[in-house]
Chains A and B, each alone.
Chain A
Amino acid sequence: MDGYDARTIGDLVRPDGVHRSVYTDPRIFELEMDRIFGRAWIYVGHESQVPDPGDYHQALIGRQPVLLVRAADGRTHVLFNRCPHKGAKLVAAPCGNAGKLLRCPFHGWSFRFDGSLASVPVRAGYEGTGFDPGHPDFSVRRVPRQASYRGFVFASLAGDGPDLETFLGGIRPSLDNFCDRAPEGEVEVAGGVFRVWQHSNWKIFLENLNDTSHPMVTHESAIEAARTGYRSLPEGTAMPFRLHIIEGNGEPYAFWDKLEMVAYDHGHSYMGAIFKPPTDPVSLAHAAALEAARGAERAREILSMQRHNSIIYPSCSPHTSFQQLRVIRPVDVDRTLVEVYTFRLKGAPEETFRRAVVYANVVNSPSSVVMPDDVEVYARCQEGLRSDGGDWVSHHRDAGRDRIEDGRRTANGLSELPMRNQFRAWSQYMIRE
C-alpha cells in the first residue's frame, strides 16, 4: 500500500515502543483491516444469541458486515450481510428472526440460512442467461472459515491459516474457565448489550485491558468517590460489591506488580491473580452449586484459576470472574466501538448472574463512573499522538526481562509485556503481504 512496505512497517515497531503513526495513519488502519482483521480469527458472537432456526445476530469483521445465523438443521453459519443480486444488506436490525428464509427486501431473492439461493421471483426471465442458481455468485457468500469454541463463534476472512484452537493457544483455557464456572459447563448471553463509542484507535483500548499501572491514576476520581461513599455507611459495614469493584482500582502499585502477566503468540495475554477463597454469600452459593455438580476438587480447581481481562487479540476480552465479554470493533483510525456482553452461568444461582449485571452496570456501561476517565485518556492519547511533539510511544517498563518458555512469556504485573506482545503479533500480521 501507498507509502508502506514490509521494511517501513517493520520500522514502526521497536522491542520497547511503537511509532505514533500506528495509531493515527488512516493508511495503516486500512492495512490493519486487510492484514489483521482480514486474517485473524475474529469473534462474531455466541451461539446462545441465535437459539432458534432463523435467528440472526449482526457483527463486524473489520470492515465487513456479517450475520451469525441459525439454520433449520441447528447448524450456525456466518454470512456476509449482502444480497448477491444488487448488493443490499439483507437485514438491518442488530438481531432478530428472519423466518423460514433470508429474503432480500429489494427484489425478493430468498436464501437458506447456509447462504444458498432458495428462489427468485419470475424465474423464467433468467432462462438462457448466465444465471446459475447453483453457482456461488448467486448465493449469499459465507466467510471463508468459521469455527466455534464452546459456543463462542469466531470467523476468519482468510481461507488458510492456523485453525481456531491453534490460534487461541495458551489463551484458550480462559474460554474454558469462562464456561467451566457454570455448573452445567455452559454459558449464555443474557441481560442486554452495552455499546460504547471510543474516540480513539482500537489498539489503545486493547493495550489498556492489561495495563496495570493506570488504574490508580486514571480512576482517582472514582476511587475517591467510592471511598467517600463507603465512609458514609455505618461503622463496620462490609464494603458493598458495587463499591468494591470501583474502589479496587485504588490498590497500590505493589499489589498490581504481584499479579502475573502472561502472554502468548498471536498477541494474546492475561493478568493472573492469586486466588483468595471467597467469603461473600454470592460467591459461596456459586461455589456450592459448582461443587454439587463437579465435585469439591474440580470446583476448587476451576474457581482458583484467576485470569482477569484475558485478551484474545485482536477482537475480544473475556473476564471470567464476572462473566463479561468485551468485543472490539474498529470503525475508523480514531473511532472504536466496544460491545459489552454479560453471560449467565447455566446452573448457577440467579444471584451469580445478578452480580454480573451489577458489575456490567457499574464498570462496563457507557454510564459507568469508572469508564469516563478511561475513554477520556484514550481520546487524549489519540489527540496527542497526532501532534509533532514526539514520534514514539514507550513500552519500556520491564522491557528485556520477560521470561520466555515454550512460547509462553511471563512477567511481573506492572510489566508492559502485553503491549510489546501485541505489537510483536501486529508486526507479524502487517509485514506479510
Chain B
Amino acid sequence: MTATPNRPSAAPAPAPALAPALDRAGAEAFLFREARLLDEGRWDDWLDLFAPEGMYWVPLARGQNDPVDHASLFHEDALMREVRARRLQDAHAWSRQPAARTARIVGNVQVLDPAGDAGRGADLVVGSTFHLLEWHRGRQRMLGGFYTHHLRLGPDGPRILLKRVDLIDCDGAHDILEGFL
C-alpha cells in the first residue's frame, strides 16, 4: 500500500528540529510532542510520525516477543492505524459520543543501545515510562506502562519504525481500548 492514504490533511506535520544524532533531550522532545498529538486527538499528525513500514504494537503478554503466533492488543501497520484513526473521527462511532479525554505523562526517558536490539534498522531506541489518565462516559481510569520507540533518523526528523507499548496490566481484563496508547 501507499504510505500516505487519502486523508484530509495530507500536508506532513512539521518535524521538530533535532540534531542528526539524537541525544536524550532530543528524544524527550520527540516523545513529548508525540504525547501532545495523541492527547489533542491529532491522529493524522500522529500517523505521520511513523515510517511507512513502521509498526504500532501493544503486546498482550508480558515480555512477548512474537506478534505473529500470539495475540496482541494492537499490532498495526500503516493501513490498520489509518483505519483506526478514521474510525476515531467518524461521527457514527457510538462509543465516542463524547470521545474519551486523555492526559499522559511520559518520563524516565532513556536512550538505549540500538545495537542490542536485533536489527530493525533503528538508529535509536528510546525507552520511557508513561501514565495515561483517561476520562470517558463518566468513568476515569489510569493506564500505564512502558514505551519503547525504535526510531530512524532522517533529514526531516525521526520516524517511528516500531512503537511498542507494554501495558502494566497487558494480560489483565480490559475495558475497551479504542484510542492509540
C-beta contact mask, B88-117 vs A, less than 8 Å → 1, else 0? Answer: 001011111000000000000000000000
Which chain A residues in 368-383 approach chain B with CB under 8 Å? 369, 371-373, 375-377, 379-380
Interface locus among A11-19, A226-234, A277-285, A401-409: A226-234
Inter-chain contact A372/B69, CB cutoff 8 Å: no
Given contacts A195-B174, A197-B175, A225-B84, are A357 and B90 in contact (CB under 8 A)?
A: no
**Interface contact A361-B75, CB-CB below 8 Å:** yes
Residues in B with CB closer than 8 Å to A373 are 93-95
Tell me whether B73 and A367 are in contact (CB under 8 A).
yes
Q: Which 7 A-B pairs have the closest CB atoms?
A: A232-B5, A195-B173, A225-B86, A376-B95, A221-B93, A221-B90, A366-B174
B46-63 interface mask toward A, CB cutoff 8 Å, 1 = contact, 0 = none? 000000000000101100
Give chain B nearest CB distance to A198 CB in angstroms.
9
B-chain residues with CB within 8 Å of residue A240 when the two chains form the complex: 79
- CB-defined A-B contacts under 8 Å, sample of 23: A191-B69, A191-B71, A192-B171, A194-B71, A195-B173, A196-B174, A218-B94, A220-B90, A221-B94, A228-B6, A233-B2, A240-B79, A350-B69, A357-B68, A357-B70, A361-B72, A361-B74, A361-B75, A366-B174, A367-B74, A369-B178, A372-B176, A375-B95
Chain A residue, CB-CB nearest to B84 = A369
Contact flag A354-B83 (CB < 8 Å), given A195-B174, A369-B178 = no
Cα–Cα, bound, A365→B69 (Å): 15
Say whether A377 contacts B94, CB under 8 Å: yes
Q: Are A192 and B84 in contact (CB under 8 A)?
A: no
CB neighbors of B among A187-207 (8 A)? 190-197
Q: B69: shortest Cβ distance to chain A, in Å?
A: 6
Which chain A residue has the least Cβ–Cβ distance from B97? Answer: A376
* Contact between chains at B69 and A366 (CB < 8 Å): no
Give A249 Cβ to nearest chain B Cβ, in Å.
Answer: 12
For A231, the chain B residues whose CB sits under 8 A away are 6
Closest B residue by C-beta to A246: B83
CB atoms of A369 and B73 under 8 A apart? no
Least CB distance from A283 to B in Å reads 18
Whether B118 sits at the interface, judged by CB under 8 Å, is no
Contact with B along A305-343 (1 / 0, CB 8 A): 000000000000000000000000000000001000010
Known: A194-B60, A225-B87, A372-B93. A366 touches B1 (CB 8 A): no
- A residues neighboring B (CB under 8 Å): 190-197, 218, 220-222, 224-226, 228-229, 231-234, 237, 240, 242-243, 246, 337, 342, 350, 353-354, 357, 360-362, 365-367, 369, 371-373, 375-377, 379-380
Task: For B5, give the chain A residue with the smallest CB separation.
Answer: A232
**Which chain A residue shows the least CB distance to B170?**
A192
Number of A-B contacts (CB under 8 A): 127
B2-21: which residues lie under 8 A (CB-CB) from chain A? 2, 5-6
Q: Known: A192-B70, A367-B58. Contact between A232 and B2, CB under 8 A?
A: yes
| A422: min CB distance to chain B, Å | 24
B82 CB–A CB distance under 8 Å: yes
* B104-148, CB < 8 A from A: 137
On whether the beta carbons of A232 and B90 are closer than 8 Å, the reply is no
Q: B132: shortest Cβ distance to chain A, in Å?
A: 14
Q: Give the chain A neighbours of B175 by CB distance below 8 A.
A: 196-197, 366
Structural contact, A357 and B73, CB atoms closer than 8 A: no
Q: Nearest chain B CB to A217's CB is how many angstroms away?
A: 9
Chain B CB count within 10 A is highest, among A193, A229, A366, for A229
Contact (Cβ within 8 A) A365 B68: no
For the complex, what is the distance from the CA of A233 to the CA of B60, rounded to whole Å? 29
The reply to whether B90 and A225 contact each other, CB–CB distance below 8 Å, is yes
- State in angstroms the CA–CA spacing of A193 and B171 once bound together: 8
Determine if A365 and B5 form an interchain contact, defined as CB atoms under 8 angstroms apart.
no
List the A residue with the shortest CB-CB distance to B3. A232
Q: Closest CB of chain A to B149's CB: distance in Å?
A: 19
Q: How far apart are A94's CB and chain B's nearest CB, in angstroms?
A: 8
Contact residue among A243, A376, A379 (Cβ-Cβ distance under 8 Å from B79) = A243
The complex places the Cα of A375 from the Cα of B93 at a distance, in Å, of 12
* Chain B contacts for A377, CB-based, 8 A: 94
Q: Is B168 an interface residue (CB 8 A)?
A: no
Contacts of B178 in A (CB 8 A): 367, 369, 372
Taking a contact as CB atoms under 8 Å apart, the answer to whether B82 and A232 are in contact is yes
The residue in chain B whose Cβ has the minimal distance to the Cβ of A220 is B92
B80 within 8 A of A: yes
A360 contacts which chain B residues (CB < 8 A)? 71
CA gap between A226 and B83 in the complex, in Å:
6
Cα separation A197 to B175 with both chains bound (whole Å): 5
- How close is A362's CB to chain B, nearest CB, in angstroms? 8
For B64, give the chain A residue with the smallest CB separation: A192
Bound CA span A190–B72, Å: 13
Which residues in A have their C-beta under 8 angstroms from that of B90? 220-221, 224-225
CB distance from A356 to the nearest CB of B (A): 9
Q: Is the CB of A229 within 8 A of B86?
A: yes
Residue in chain B with minimal CB distance to A197: B175
CB contact under 8 A between A197 and B1, given known A221-B87, A222-B87: no
Q: Which of B6, B71, B174 contacts A361 (CB 8 A)?
A: B71
B176 lies within 8 A of A229 (CB): no
Check if A366 sits within 8 Å of B83, measured CB to CB.
Answer: no
